[in-house]
Amino acid sequence: MADNTAEQTRRAPDPRRRSQRARNAIIDAAAELLGEVGYSKLTMEAIAARARVGKQTIYRWWPSKAAVVFEVFTRLTGAEAGAPLPDTGDLAADLKTVFRATADEFTDPATDRTTRAFTAEVQHDEEFARAVTERLVRPNAEAVKDRMRAGRDAGQLAPDADLDLAVEMLNGPINHRWLLRTGPLTHEYVDRLVDTVLRGLRP
């Protein structure tokens, strides 16, 4: 009898593992649907159907489809919005590391498709655009600015360097090249961009 009990215990499903599988399935489904139908047509019902879970399962973790979509982007980028940048003491190298990763994300077919749908919706939904700015754009910009501020404090940038403008000078060309497909978004391009921006900010 004891052996049978032990065998049943070994075979009992792990609810935590099952829960994580369901969560991953929801994120994957939302990412796929966002690329296929766009944010405005995305529904919790469709996500639940694609993920093969009940709608109540989604609401257990996220209060709205916007919250699900933000989770999609967290997974796609591999980091929480606003996560601190690496600080090796070499500002140029650290910025290149981060923006090379950004270029890799934009050129990944799955990320590209989802991000374009996400970006298109920002143009049409002011409330969604504000949420994107508050939860994604601004925290990430502040993280870059914090790293540049540390570089300025270390004497690698001029004391009067405009860090807000510097962050836009780094992000703008990358987003322009990706959005309008004006050229390849490569590591070499990112490196030249970082070097050019920093050259104008050095003491």
pLDDT tens per residue across span 175-185: 999 999 999 99
DSSP E strands: which ranges in the chain? none
Q: 79-199: same fold as 2-74?
A: yes
CATH architecture of 2-74: Orthogonal Bundle (1.10)
Q: What is the pLDDT of residue 156?
A: 96
Distance, first Cα to last Cα, the chain = 79
Q: What is the overall mean pLDDT for the chain?
A: 87
Q: What is the pLDDT of residue 167?
A: 97
Helix axes of 44-51 and 65-77: crossing angle, nearest 10 degrees: 50
Could you tell me which residue, 14 or 152, shows the higher pLDDT? 152
Q: What is the pLDDT of residue 3?
A: 56
Q: Where do the structural domains in the chain lie, given as residue ranges? A: 2-74, 79-199
pLDDT category, 37, cuts 50, 70, 90?
Answer: confident
> Is a pLDDT exceeding 70 seen at residue 164?
yes
Helix (H, G, I), strand (E, B) or coil at 86: coil
* Residue given tokens 């609401």 in the structure block: 59
Q: Which two tokens stand for residue 35?
A: 């690329």
CATH architecture of 79-199: Orthogonal Bundle (1.10)
pTM score, whole prediction: 0.75
Furthest C-alpha separation in the chain = 79
Q: Which two tokens stand for residue 108?
A: 């990944």
